[in-house]
Amino acid sequence: MTTTSTMTPAALGSRRIDPSAVVARTTPRTSLQETWVQTLSMAWRALKKMRRKPEQFFDVLIQPLLFTAMFAFIFGGAISGSVADYLPVLIPGILAQTALTVCMATGVQLREDMDKGVFDRFKSLPIARIAPLAGPMIADLIRYGIASVLTLVTGLLIGYRPGGGVLGSIGGIALTVFAGWSLAWIFTWLGTMARSAQSVQGISMMIMFPLTFLSNAFVPAETLPGWLEAFVKVNPVSHVVSAVRDLFNDGAVTAEVGWAVVGCAVVVAIFAPLAVRSYSRKM
Amino acid sequence: MADLSAVRAEDLVKEFGDFRAVDGIDLHVRQGEIFGVLGPNGAGKTTTLRMLATLLPIDGGHAEIFGVDVRREPHRIRQLVGVTGQYASVDEDLTARENLWLFARLQGLTGTRARAVAGDLLERFGLQEAADRPLSQFSGGMRRRLDLASSLITRPPLIFLDEPTTGLDPRTRGQMWDTIRELVTDGSTILLTTQYLDEADQLADRVAVIDRGRKVAEDTPDALKTQVGDSTLQLSLADGSDTALAANVVRRLLGEDPVLTPESGRMNVPLPDPDRAADVLIGLREAGLGISSVSVAKPTLDEVFLALTGHGADDESQMEAAR
């Protein structure tokens, strides 16, 4: 502490700063490659934070274990006649629900993070405005991965045997991860708009519950009243769940898979620009 | 570039609802100087700086940094300016080394280069030993140093320092001052805000005094101080009811009105020449007025304010607190 200001001019190169040369070197915007490096750097930061705060993993560990077992034994007999018959329906449903829960955490954590002083610095740096938003989302791919694998493993333990085999299962998990990442942009957008982390949590719950329960995640859509069935059929979560079922149970890349991917891409195309705009405006 | 200005801001305006936080400020900072923006809390210093750093949209007026338009080319501005905030803007969840590495990577340095620059800066700012410790164990001074180091990674030609020493103990403050002075020898231009005249005096080549979103004066620190007298004789009278009599004595001897605080029997006398202090003391003795304490002080921001605006700096802080 005592040797604070002994400058070593050689440390940073002793050449004097020439402002006009620096001005000449500036670029009007970030290139795609720079944006990618910046996003990865922000992902690195998010990973470091995850490692230091393992309690962040609570939701991705507990929910798959608890909900899979609980729902299978509670609803299995009523909906499909037996637990074993219900598992092919349930596991993809739980996957979607877990992915949405992880998404929600993405928005809440972003809001918390944005209130910290370091975000002032991120804003003052010549970096792409999307990097601080997209970086944590890349790190979150790990969380989606863990949650999906755990759900599947829990299912296997209570007797689920995916008909699609190893490849089908990998495909199903990959689709879940992609869907989670895409839908997370909605919650990221909320994170940049809302006043506090708590309000993000509140609004997200209001979005997440209808999206998961008003879908075919846990019950077949045909059993619902007509008006509800109509909503369930356009709910993007339903398409993701159906697509994951096709992959898991039949190993088939069906039209549903195509629709799910298109739906997710549309969500990203709408909400990623909205999120970036709202984030830049917060300056 | 024929123009040798680092910052040229004209008629800057920032409004928060009905409140005009910055109400038409002009700033002209020359290359290679330390320019101080002096003012109490809530005067609009930080807001001005944040607008120039592209952290807040500019509501009115025009600003250029090294000839680059702040409003039109924010991305270029961010490549020219290093910002060190009022509250250390570093990542609390990372170590010092990780912070510097991250900021270097974000600004396009390769991994190897980022590591080297982080190491250099840690050494230069005396943070090597604490480099890999969590920031929660850092003192206020260490955080500020890390914050400043983080602003210097790409050696920006212009550095904004928002109240760089607020809340630091005197020794750490002195070290920070030394560091800031050395930055200028590297060729950087520095724009700093401060609440302390002392700090502006120590560091700045020129000072703009800001009050309620307006610039009330701009000059060298010496010239500003001359406006309020070079130093002040502070007197406490033994009997508070004597202040009016004592003020007469001062007026007769120096031809100037002292600033009175009758309730506490205190009186501040502007001294164009410290030698005249003795005259005042002798004058009071001859008039039979007792003194309980006496000191000679350099002008404070409060006095500069009083002289420039007719009201004290404290009013402003209260306004800020009420906001």
**pLDDT higher than 80, residue B313:** no
Q: What's the DSSP call for residue B275?
A: T
Q: Which of B57, B76, B98 sits opposite A26 (nearest CB)?
A: B76
pLDDT of residue A11: 41
The alpha carbon torsion through A36, A40, A46, A47 (nearest 10 deg) reads: 150
Residue bearing the bigger pLDDT, B258 or B190: B190
B90 touches chain A (CB under 8 A): yes
- Distance, in Å, from the CA atom of B10 to the CA atom of B4, rounded to the nearest integer, reads 16
Token readout for A24 is 């000449």
Measure Cα distances from A142 to A136, A146, A260, A262, B258 in Å: 10, 6, 21, 23, 71
Find chain A residues with C-beta within 8 A of B182's C-beta.
5, 7
Q: How confident is the model at residue B279 (pLDDT cuts 50, 70, 90)?
A: confident
Enumerate the residues of chain B whose CB falls inside 8 A of the CB of residue A25. 79
The dihedral through the CA atoms of B216, B221, B226, B229 has a sign that is positive
User: A41 and B107: CB-CB below 8 Å?
Assistant: no
pLDDT at B191 over 90: yes
Identify the CATH class of B229-298: alpha beta
Q: What token pair was written down for B183? A: 């930055």
How close A134 gets to chain B, by Cα (Å)? Answer: 14
Residues 6+ apart with CB under 8 A from B264: B236, B240
Alpha-carbon span A91 to A88, nearest angstrom = 6
Q: How confident is the model at residue B319 (pLDDT cuts 50, 70, 90)?
A: very low
- DSSP reduced 3-state for A103: helix
Q: What is the Cα–Cα distance from B35 to B193, expressed in whole angstroms?
A: 8
Q: Is B158–A19 a contact, with Cβ atoms under 8 angstroms apart?
A: yes
Here the ipTM equals 0.83
**Model pLDDT, residue B58:** 93
Q: Is the pLDDT of residue B183 over 80?
A: yes
A269 or B221, which is more confident? A269
Contacts of A8 in chain B (CB under 8 A): 120, 123-124
Nearest CB to A17: which of B103, B108, B155? Answer: B155
Cβ(B198)–Cβ(A27) below 8 Å: no
Q: Which two tokens stand for residue B160?
A: 């904004």
Among chain B residues, the shortest Cα distance to A48 is held by B94
- Phi, then psi, of B35 in degrees rounded to 5: -110, 125
Contact A117 B88 (CB under 8 A): yes
CA–CA distance, A231 with A213 (Å, rounded to integer): 11
Mean pLDDT confidence for B29-53: 92
CA distance B297 to chain A (A): 29
Structural domain spans, chain B? 5-225, 229-298
The yes-or-no verdict on residue B172 having pLDDT over 60 is yes
Provide the terminal-to-terminal Cα distance of chain B, rounded to the nearest Å.
Answer: 43
Predicted local confidence at residue B86, as pLDDT: 74
From first to last of its 283 residues, chain A has per-residue pLDDT tens of 444 443 433 444 557 888 888 888 899 989 999 999 999 999 999 999 888 888 878 778 888 888 888 888 888 888 888 888 899 989 999 998 888 888 888 888 888 888 888 888 999 999 999 999 999 999 999 989 999 999 999 999 998 999 888 999 999 999 999 999 999 999 999 999 888 888 988 998 888 888 888 888 888 888 888 888 888 888 888 999 999 999 999 988 889 899 999 999 999 999 999 999 998 876 4
Question: How large is the average pLDDT for residues B155-184?
Answer: 90
Q: What is the pLDDT of residue A272?
A: 94
Higher pLDDT, B106 or A54: B106
pTM, two decimal places: 0.81
Q: Does B167 touch chain A (CB under 8 A)?
A: no
The domains of chain A are located at 31-281
Query: What are the chain A neighbours of B55 within 8 Å (beta carbons)?
Result: 120, 123-124, 283
Give B26's DSSP letter: E
Q: Is the pLDDT of residue B323 over 60?
A: no
Share of chain B above pLDDT 90, in %: 45
Write the CB contacts of A97 (distance below 8 Å, at least 6 apart in sequence). A63, A67, A212, A217
Chain B residue with CA closest to A21: the answer is B157
Q: For residue B171, list chain A residues with Cβ-Cβ distance below 8 A.
A: none
Residue of A173, A201, A35 whose CA lies nearest to A103: A201
Architecture of domain B5-225: 3-Layer(aba) Sandwich (3.40)
d(CA B10, CA B159): 19
Concatenated DSSP letters of A104-171: HHHHHHHHHHHTSTHHHHHHHSS--TTHHHHHHHHHHHHHHHHHHHHHHHHHHHTT---TTHHHHHHH
Rounded-to-5 percentages of helix, strand, coil across chain A: 80, 0, 20
The chain-wide mean pLDDT, for chain B, equals: 86
d(CA A22, CA B155): 9
Q: Is it the case that residue B15 has pLDDT exceeding 90?
A: yes
C-beta atoms of A124 and B78 within 8 A: yes
Closest chain A CA to residue B55: A283
Which of A8, A49, A121 has the CB atom closest to B93's CB atom?
Answer: A49
Q: How confident is the model at residue B272 (pLDDT cuts 50, 70, 90)?
A: confident
Question: Quick one: pLDDT at residue B3?
Answer: 62
Q: Which residue among A6, A7, A45 sits closest to B102, beta carbon to beta carbon?
A: A45
Q: Which of B93, B117, B152 best tests the A interface by mutation, with the highest count of A CBs <10 A?
A: B93
CA distance B22 to chain A (A): 16
Specify the pLDDT at position B228.
66
CB contact under 8 A, B92 and A116: yes
In the structure encoding, which two tokens stand for residue B285, read together? 């003795």
Comparing A157 with B274, which gets the higher pLDDT? Answer: A157
Q: Which ranges constitute the DSSP H helices of chain B? A: 45-52, 74-80, 96-106, 111-124, 140-151, 170-185, 197-203, 221-227, 243-254, 276-286, 301-309, 313-322
